[in-house]
Structure 1
Amino acid sequence: MTTVAPTAALYAPLAGLDWNDLTAVAAASTTVLDQLTADRALLGELTDTVVDNPHLARLCEHYDILDKIVLHDDPDGWRIRLHVFLDGYFDRPHNHRWTYTSRILTGSYTHVLYGTDHEFTDEVDVAALSPRLSRIEEPGDTYTLHHSMIHSVTAHSEAVTLIVRGPAVKDRFVVTDRATGKAWWQYGAATETPDTATAKRMTNEHLRDRITALHTAGTFTP
């Protein structure tokens, strides 16, 4: 079985990366994701170690139909995360505080792009948002999304993705709700209230249960 020791070499392509260079980000992130998805035993071991790492466990988040497990939190500001989208998951059109690369491991989802966030604020006319690209992301698919892109995801069944999340480049991002026509700013952890942070923090029990479920589903099996 592969051990978790060689993580420095594994993450070397991301060292000193210019996160404004989307081509470089895509190439370096894909190299790392290729290694992790090819070595599912290693991916499983890295996931298992999160439970006994207080820092990483504290960064894991649980929402009603989405779980985020942080496998690595780098001093340079980037992270490796596993996302578990439950069946029926739908997120509102939004941008991000960071650029990221995603690899779909299991399941699938519809991915809709609406354009860039030029003049995208909490005063946006939500009804005017118009899809510019809609595609189905399936196992093995990889994409790199710039932080300025507005997008949304709808899961068709439980979907698991592995992502390289770049350093945050802004303090907040906009989330929209087409049903109500409202939009609002959402802030990063540095400016969250203690109650907000606690509400989304994954409990150790849920973290253990989620990791067990991933093993049972064969996510870490070649």
Structure 2
Amino acid sequence: MTTAAPSTYTEMFSPLSALDWDDLLSVNVAATQLLDRLAADRAILADLTQRIPDDARLANLCEHYDILDKLVLHDDPTGWRLRLHVFLNGYYDRPHNHRWTYTSRILTGSYTHTLYGTDHDFTDQIDVSALTPRMIRTEEPGDTYTLHHSMIHSVTAHGETVTLIVRGPAAKERFVVTDRTTGQAWWQYGAASETPQAAAAKRMSGSQLRDRIAALRASGTLTPPRSHN
């Protein structure tokens, strides 16, 4: 079953639906405005999250891994998505690029964010040991950044970390993931190229989805931040 969202949400999402996703400045402005609004108005964020289990399409897009959950709050016909990511303590991802440009807002927790430069000549034949950090920073609650799909990066979470993501339409069909420990690199493809078994293995079950939403509510992530005044 799909529940109809209020027209207010359509108005809120429309600026992103008309974006030129190759114009990073425009993407940053529009996506940041949306993320600012959702971070400030947690009632809307909570409502979008609570709607997921009753929307079969959104529920089927949600993913569960050992130490990472991805919840899809909105899947726009123009190709962009609004997602909540929950990184568990100790989460570390391998240096990689993306198939799409995205803007991220840190809601709770923090992570070390390492950038290695752009993906010119970045293939599965890359000398992984030659990847050199070009910027290392800590992303904390309230921080927002926009990352072009050509950027190679990795993050390491400190404690449970929740981020709100505006993910643009796919700009390419595959991206490279590297493992600095083994020295290996490989291509990874989007969902359209996955086998049904691979898609099912990462899809959140109904109980996992409900439990994650309940945990977000219990942690206060979906309620207004406390004032420090």
Matched residue, 1:168: 170
Give the equivalent residue in structure 2 for 1:58: 60
**Is the 8 Å Cα contact of residues 81 and 162 (structure 1) preserved in structure 2?**
yes
SS of structure 2 residue aligned to 1:130? coil
1:132 Cα offset (Å): 0.2
**Corresponding residue number in structure 2 for 1:219:** 221
Question: Is the 2:72–2:83 contact (alpha carbons within 8 Å) kept by the matching residues of 1?
Answer: yes
> 3-state DSSP class of the match of 1:157?
strand
Q: CA–CA distance in 2 between the matches of 1:28 and 1:148?
A: 20
Deviation at 1:12, TM superposition (A): 2.0
Q: How high is the TM-score relative to the length of structure 1?
A: 0.98
**Map of 1:152 onto structure 2:** 154
Q: How many Å apart are 1:68 and its aligned residue? A: 0.1
* Alignment partner of 1:114 out of 88, 100, 116: 116
**Which amino acid letter does the alignment assign opposite residue 19 of structure 1?**
W
Assess if the C-alpha contact under 8 Å between 1:10 and 1:35 holds in 2. no
Residue 50 of structure 2 contacts residue 213 of structure 2 at CA under 8 Å; is this kept in 1? yes
Of 197, 201, 204, the match for 1:202: 204
Indicate the residue corresponding to 2:36 in structure 1.
34
- Three-state SS of the structure 1 residue aligned to 2:11 is helix
Structure 1 residue 15: Cα displacement: 2.4
Gaps of 5+ in 2: 225-229
Q: CA contact under 8 A between 2:176 and 2:186: conserved in structure 1?
A: yes
Q: TM-score, normalised by structure 2?
A: 0.95
1:71 and 2:79 matched: no
* In structure 2, C-alpha distance between the alignment counterparts of 1:46 and 1:166, rounded to whole Å: 19
Match of 1:103 among 96, 102, 105: 105
In structure 2, the partner of 1:134 is: 136
**Divergent runs of 4+, >3 A:** none
Q: What's the CA shift string for 1:20-44, capped at 9, x where partnerless?
A: 0000000000011111111001101
Rounded to whole Å, the distance in 1 between the matches of 2:163 and 2:5 is: 20
Q: CA RMSD in A?
A: 0.9
Q: Which residue of 2 aligns with 1:90?
A: 92
User: Which residue does the alignment assign to 1:22?
Assistant: 24
- Paired amino acid for 1:28: A
SS of match in other structure, 1:95: coil
Distance (Å, rounded) in 2 between the aligned partners of 1:204 and 1:219: 20
Report the AA paired with residue 96 of structure 1. Answer: H
- Whether the 8 Å contact between 1:83 and 1:161 is mirrored in structure 2 is yes
For residues 199-219 of structure 1, the C-alpha deviation after alignment (integer angstroms, 9 at most, x for no partner) is: 111101000000000000000
> Which whole-Å CA distance do the structure 1 matches of 2:202 and 2:125 have between them?
26
SS of the counterpart of 1:147?
coil
Q: How many residues align?
A: 220
Is the CA contact 2:17–2:76 (under 8 Å) kept in the aligned structure 1? no
